[in-house]
Structure 1
């Protein structure tokens, strides 16, 4: 698999990736070689403006596309993404037509999981392989270029990014959009309009979150 060249200087690719790659060799893992670094490939460090941190890829074959919270366009919305779209609809009045968030990534939203691989049906199984070092290094590398908006949903994301946001950054923390926690502070947090208001205040182009006006599924 090819490394994302714009990020290839990160220490992770020299110190951690060879061992992780060797452990993956011969396994039937997701999202697979072609999509494992999709988040970094679609959002180069000089274009990153927003960080949305997930945990690991969806463990159902054919669902994960290498972007946190995102699924392939033909996949039914997972429950967390359904809640994200419901909150978006309440916040800005519309949401995307499907669950592929590639259009966010191409606008500078770094959709990075703290673990980039998983086995089918075994969520979190690679969480202790050292992938988390890549997430921290990538975010710190992007920070050199501009202030970032951090969207940290749930304790896992908040712990993973502990100590990284600076005073110049925007930090939005809330409960996770999972059905188990969304009503404990995720709904009503209005992250999408808050990010765009912050970007506009910085004379930056806001994120086109929806691309089309589509009613949110509930």
Structure 2
């Protein structure tokens, strides 16, 4: 199993990749993938980093844990593979886009198209055992992805961070708000959305307005 961070990211994170916790994490992940079903597929563990290079990051969306059923997780937070039924949170994301921007509800829940435009879709934990939610939490992924967020904040300019729900909002402390924009709302999960904490946040139109103001290409959500 090869777990190699793409060069555009490893250049900034090379010290992190040599820390004992990270080396222990990689050993744990390799053992897990060798002995049990884990998601996403091993070639997709760093897909968010592969599709969206460090210098291309315009928007960051932070999720928590990969989907843990077969054929769902593809290495991008909230995203599922082509042909897979859309999970409830993703349904609510697409509903908000429809309301906010008037875009038709899409057939595919694969968000690679966003990543290719500079939307970095980062889960705090990058792997999970099949059918065991949160099974790879507190094994080392969280300090690594926190370091990723801090590195984006330090070395990039005018990035827009979308923090949805209580877990993601805690990441605000890692971000220099004097350099970047932070937009927050409730989580798109039904529990939060049905209580009025998600729908109507207009984050997608807000992002495009901010990008226009920066002279950057907007996102085709």
TM-score in same-fold range (> 0.5): yes
2:48 paired with 1:39: yes
> Going by fraction, where is helix more abundant, 1 or 2?
2
Aligned pairs for 1:3-82 (under 5 A) are 3-9=5-11, 10=13, 11-15=15-19, 16-24=21-29, 25=31, 26-27=34-35, 28-82=37-91
Distance 1:147 1:114 in 2: 21
Distance 2:62 2:156 in 1: 19
Report what 1:212 is aligned to: none
2:107 paired with 1:97: yes
2:200 paired with 1:196: no
Which structure carries more relative contact order (alpha carbon 8 Å, separation 6+)? 1
Residue 163 of structure 2: SS of its match in structure 1?
A: strand
Distance 2:213 2:157 in 1: 14
Distance 2:70 2:176 in 1: 34
Structure 1: which 5+ residue stretches go unaligned?
A: 210-218
Distance 2:179 2:24 in 1: 36
Task: Please give the root-mean-square deviation of Cα atoms over the aligned residues, in Å.
Answer: 1.4
Report what 2:126 is aligned to: 116
Number of matched pairs: 209
Report what 2:148 is aligned to: 138
Aligned pairs for 1:176-215 (under 5 A) are 176-183=187-194, 184-209=196-221
TM-score by length of 1: 0.91
2:123 paired with 1:125: no
Structure 2: which 5+ residue stretches go unaligned?
A: none
Deviations 1:138-173 (A, max 9, x none): 223233121110110000111134241422322111
Deviations 1:23-60 (A, max 9, x none): 12223211131000001111111000100000011000
Contact 2:62 2:122 in 1 (8 A): yes
Runs of 4+ in 1 over 4 A off after TM superposition: none
Contact 2:150 2:174 in 1 (8 A): no
Q: How far does residue 61 in structure 1 lie from its aligned partner after superposition?
A: 1.4
Distance 1:4 1:32 in 2: 17
Cα 1:96–1:140 shift into 2, 3 Å: farther
Contact 2:146 2:174 in 1 (8 A): no
TM-score by length of 2: 0.90
Q: How far does residue 17 in structure 1 lie from its aligned partner after superposition?
A: 3.0
Moved more, 190-199 or 129-138: 129-138
